[in-house]
Structure 1
Amino acid sequence: MTLIEAIGYLASALVLLTFCMSTMLSLRAVAICSNFAFISYGFGAGLYPVLVLHVVLLPLNIVLLVRMMILLRKAKLAAATDLSPLWMQPFMWPKHFKAGETIFRKGQHADLLYMVASGEVGLPEIDQRLSAGDLFGEIGLFSLERRRTQTAVAATNVDLLCISDAALKKLCERNPGLSLYFLRLTATRMTQNASRLPPIGAGAHSD
């Protein structure tokens, strides 16, 4: 077996290995290694279509790997500090509500996660207002019943950014480190909401 043939087998083995990767980071890293191996094999064996293909794929895989690493770093930093969700913006789409419109009601099926881009959102059950940069709707999205635990109303004209539950699940599956962010965010929000609820029996009236 020649050196070029050995490189060709190595490149093929690396492609096979990509199907065994459990995260996108490891998949991209192995894909980059396979690109280098195929470039060497294509050049040495004179297989120019293979060479051209992997010369194109190499920078693409590098860019995607770098973007994924930046995303994970931002998510981990947010999870360790202020829980800022701004890193999610590239994965979300906009929605607009006029003042007084109901965004969702308590008990409704939860299928979207929201972030306030501008304006204010009110949560009347706990007398709270959310402003630009605040994330909401995550508790219902991650609960077993998949039901909204609060009603959300546009307190002013409000611009929101949204991401579907399917897109969010896909994002977390590709990047397991993001799950830590949402776990801490949900636990923090539930603790905050519980502290705003009136004590049991408070305000009760006898007939």
Structure 2
Amino acid sequence: MTWFEAIGWFGAVLAVTGSAMKTIIPLRCIGIGANICSLIFSSFTGNYPSIVVNLILLPLNSVRLYQMLGLIKRVKQASKSDLSMEWLKPFMTRRKTTSGEVLFAKGDSANCMYFTISGRYRLKEIDIELLQGQVVGEMGFMSPRNTRSQTLECIEAGEVLSISYDEVRQLYFQNPEFGFYFLRLASERLFSNMEKMEEEITRLRAELPGVGSVQKAASA
């Protein structure tokens, strides 16, 4: 067996191994190795169709690997900072909103989440106004029934970015590490909302004695 035949067999083993990979980054790495081996073997054997195919697949696998590594880097940076999800913007679709528009209502079926760019928005049930550059609607993705727990209305025209849950799932299945950091971000948002709720409950309890005194004074 010649050395280039050995490389050809090694490339075949890599191709089979790549088919068994469950995550995208190892698959791309093994695919690049298989492409290089196949190119070397095909060059010495004069297999021109194989040369053409691998010349196409090699840069394609390299670009996809670079994109996925960049995504993971951005996700890691986001997970170590605040609740911003700037890294997700390239995967989202821009749309305009009008004053009075209800982007989603409590109890609706949830199928996407939003990133506010401009304008003003309010979560109706808890009366919280969202600032620009905030993500909203991601909790519906975590809900067992995928339903909205709040109503989001636009109170001043602007623009938002949206991404469907199907696209989020695709990103997750392409790389489970993305899913891990997404869950972490969503968990941070959940705990933040719980803290706000506890603060509001504490505030209301502190106001109750004053309300009672006013009522007694009025009845007297």
Q: CA RMSD in A?
A: 2.1
The residue that corresponds to 2:145 in the other structure is 145
Amino acid aligned to 1:177:
E
Q: CA deviation at 1:158?
A: 2.4
Maintained 8 Å contact 2:120/2:130: yes
16-25 vs 2-11, greater mean Cα deviation = 2-11
The residue that corresponds to 2:218 in the other structure is none
> What CA distance in whole angstroms lies between the structure 2 residues aligned with 1:167 and 1:181?
16
Maintained 8 Å contact 1:76/1:177: no
Moved over 4 A (4+): 200-205
**2:88 paired with 1:109:** no
Maintained 8 Å contact 2:105/2:148: yes
> What CA distance in whole angstroms lies between the structure 2 residues aligned with 1:86 and 1:42?
44
Amino acid aligned to 2:53:
L
- Corresponding residue pairs, total: 206
Structure 1: tracts of 5 or more residues without a match: none
> What CA distance in whole angstroms lies between the structure 2 residues aligned with 1:90 and 1:30?
27
Structure 2: tracts of 5 or more residues without a match: 212-220
- Secondary structure (helix, strand or coil) at the match of 1:157 reads strand
- Secondary structure (helix, strand or coil) at the match of 2:147 reads coil
Call closer, same or farther: CA 1:165–1:61 in 2, change over 3 Å: same
The residue that corresponds to 1:81 in the other structure is 81
Amino acid aligned to 2:201:
P
Q: CA deviation at 1:95?
A: 2.3
- Secondary structure (helix, strand or coil) at the match of 2:113 reads strand
188-197 vs 170-179, greater mean Cα deviation = 188-197
Q: Deviations over 1:24-51 (max 9, x none)?
A: 1111111100110011011111112211
Maintained 8 Å contact 2:83/2:189: no
Q: TM-score, normalised by structure 2?
A: 0.86
> What CA distance in whole angstroms lies between the structure 1 residues aligned with 2:123 and 2:192?
13
Q: TM-score, normalised by structure 1?
A: 0.91
Matches within 5 A, 1:27-38: 27-38=27-38
Matches within 5 A, 1:16-165: 16-165=16-165
Identity %: 34
Q: CA deviation at 1:84?
A: 2.3
> What CA distance in whole angstroms lies between the structure 1 residues aligned with 2:167 and 2:87?
15
Maintained 8 Å contact 1:126/1:193: no
> What CA distance in whole angstroms lies between the structure 1 residues aligned with 2:92 and 2:27?
24
Q: CA deviation at 1:143?
A: 1.1
> What CA distance in whole angstroms lies between the structure 2 residues aligned with 1:118 and 1:180?
29
The residue that corresponds to 1:199 in the other structure is 201
> What CA distance in whole angstroms lies between the structure 2 residues aligned with 1:108 and 1:116?
20
> What CA distance in whole angstroms lies between the structure 2 residues aligned with 1:64 and 1:132?
31
Maintained 8 Å contact 1:120/1:130: yes
Maintained 8 Å contact 2:115/2:160: yes
Amino acid aligned to 1:56:
I
Maintained 8 Å contact 1:11/1:34: yes
Amino acid aligned to 2:177:
G
Maintained 8 Å contact 2:83/2:188: no
Higher helix fraction: Structure 1 or Structure 2? 2
